[in-house]
Structure 1
Amino acid sequence: MKTLISLDDVESIKRELFQILPDVKSSHRVEAMARGLGWGSRRLACRVGGRSADAVAR
């Protein structure tokens, strides 16, 4: 099943992951989010979203 995820959803997930895992590096949290959403990696998520990998990791 596919679900549409907006940029607002991604930002919300990132904030939640930061609250739950503050000691984990941002890039690792974003990588886990991307894989959990079935994107395979944050780089693929960035290509789909049209943003750089660094911008998504912040």
Structure 2
Amino acid sequence: MANQKKDDKDKYVKTTISFEPEQYRQMISYCEREERSASWVIRKALAEWFEKHE
């Protein structure tokens, strides 16, 4: 059975962000330890920040 295409509103959006070098090293180190992608870590951090600040 073929995969159904996601609706545009349900697709991930790609973007480019910049980090301070030390923040980037810390994030990559965390990703390697936890076996998570940088995208996952950033999405998780943003979700927690929004939950706290909304």
TM-based fold match above 0.5? no
TM-score range, shorter chain: 0.3 to 0.5
TM-score, reference length from structure 2: 0.34
Q: Which gives a bigger RCO, structure 1 or 2 (Cα 8 Å, sep 6+)? A: 1
TM-score, reference length from structure 1: 0.33
Larger Rg belongs to: 2
Looking at secondary structure, tell me which structure has more helix per residue. 1
